[in-house]
Amino acid sequence: MIGIIGAVIEEAEAIKNEMTDIQEEVSEGITFFKGKFCNKDVIFVQSGIGKVNAAMTATILIYKYNVDKVIFSGVAGSLDERVNIGDIVIGTDLVHHDFDTRKFGYKLGQIPQMDVWAFESDRELIEKIRKIENGKYKLIFGRILTGDQFIDESNRKERLGKEFEALCTDMEGAAVAQVCYRMNVKFLVIRSISDSLNDKSAMEYYEFVKLAANNSKEILKEILK
């Protein structure tokens, strides 16, 4: 069984609108949707925004529904001038950019007592995407950053991108990745870009979030096919 997570309503609607045979179940106040997507049995859930919401949702999804793969489909902000609105970033690995225990000798982003700095996505799922022949969307493979902040200053975006060698930033991906890593479940994070590398990110987000969410969903469909 495949578990699919989206964070915001635009991401959720893009996926739910194409599901069939939907059954709703509520667990710990979170609504899970069992049904078919691209003729595959899936469990879809909207996590809400932020790392705690994402981690809690992913944990329940894995425990209660016994999924063996988790795919996060959604939007993100660009950290690289090569990554533009509508482009799709396939996360090869994910890092918490706002986890800082450098005072104790750890690398920025490193979680104490974890044996990895970056959480690597499932290689088989990544290779499946590399074989997709779809000229409609620009696919870029690389690192995704996560933090409980909406980053909208261009100078900060550039600094994060260079410091972590990352392509985009979100508010949930690494939290889901960390849960899956701890629970030995395969995962993949797909992010379509909703705002570019400038100081107008918040305005762009509201203008392009639906477009980006739909692009991310289309690649999800290609994977499941």
Give the active site residues.
Answer: 11, 195
Alpha-carbon distance of 116 to 133, in angstroms, equals: 33
Which burial class, exposed, middle or buried, applies to 107 when counting CB atoms under 10 A from its CB (0-12, 13-18, 19+)?
exposed
CA-nearest of 159, 157, 155, 123 to 141 is: 123
Position of tokens 């993949």?
188
Please state, in angstroms and as integers, the Cα–Cα distance from residue 154 to each residue in 7, 88, 196, 200, following that order. 24, 20, 9, 8
Q: What is the DSSP string of 101-156?
A: -GGGTPPTTPPTT-S-SSEEPPHHHHHHHHT---TTS-EEEEEEEE-SS----HHH
CA-nearest of 164, 169, 163, 225 to 197 is: 169
- Tell me the two tokens of residue 113: 């007592």
Which burial class, exposed, middle or buried, applies to 121 when counting CB atoms under 10 A from its CB (0-12, 13-18, 19+)?
buried
